[in-house]
A and B are shown apart, each in its own frame.
Chain A
């Protein structure tokens, strides 16, 4: 818990997490690979 609190206390880390989330969403949304796993979902 203390680790979580210290993580959010550091705004640079929060911005890094938001930046990473932004990139993940963009990559998932922009890409259109056909994955063998996707077919069985």
Chain B
């Protein structure tokens, strides 16, 4: 939810910028869009849809890694576009720490207690996946590249969340990409307009 919050902030900022500068929002050209949708599918089944309760941890982890590799390829294919260097760097950071820690994002027991203060410690255990999410509970001293794991904490409204430096970069990249929607049309390669639209413009 915190990443969707960042998306909302970026979208609001882009709309506001467009209103102030009196510009229409125009999406810029993005390559390999199909790869993005295909790459996201494994995560859809492993972490979003009710099928996540049926999928064994091994396959869920494999879904996460294969999906993020596909998403990284997509980001690298568009690295010259606004925001995509940050998106690629954030994703690479998350993927690296996930790969080095058994295929899951590490989270310390102390952080789990901060995020889930009302959940009994008996409902999770060190060395195991946390719920049906992307995290594994690992003490800091057992975590490879711990500083890339879920080390940040935020408490907003009734919700609490832990997130990684990679998540921060992804959020900033998303905001930057949305900000570019209100750039001057010549500043970024745009999706080519149809002849009809060109005549209208």
Please report A residues at the B interface, Cβ cutoff 8 Å. Answer: 11-12, 15-16, 18-20, 22-41
Complex A-B: 6 CB contacts under 8 Å:
A27-B6, A30-B94, A33-B163, A34-B163, A35-B1, A35-B159
A16 touches B105 (CB 8 A): no
Please report B residues at the A interface, Cβ cutoff 8 Å. Answer: 1-4, 6-7, 11, 24-28, 30, 33, 36-37, 39-40, 43, 52, 67-68, 71, 74-75, 87, 90-91, 94, 98, 105, 107, 111-112, 115-116, 119, 130-135, 150, 159-164, 166-167, 170-171, 174, 177-178, 181, 191, 194, 197
Provided the pairs A16-B181, A23-B177, A39-B119 are in contact, do residues A29 and B162 lie with their beta carbons within 8 angstroms? no
B27 touches A30 (CB 8 A): no
B163 touches A30 (CB 8 A): no
B197 touches A11 (CB 8 A): yes
- Give the number of A-B contacts (CB < 8 Å): 131
Which residues does chain B contribute within 8 Å of A39, judged by CB atoms? Answer: 115-116, 119, 130-131, 133
A16 touches B27 (CB 8 A): yes
**Nearest residue, chain A, Cβ from B196:** A11
Nearest chain A CB to B117's CB is how many angstroms away? 9
Closest 9 CB pairs of A and B: A19-B27, A33-B163, A30-B91, A39-B131, A32-B105, A32-B134, A31-B3, A34-B162, A36-B160
B68 touches A12 (CB 8 A): no
Q: Which of B3, B26, B37, B170 has a CB less than 8 Å from the CB of A12?
A: B26
Which residues does chain A contribute within 8 Å of B133, judged by CB atoms? Answer: 34-35, 38-39
Nearest chain A CB to B71's CB is how many angstroms away? 5
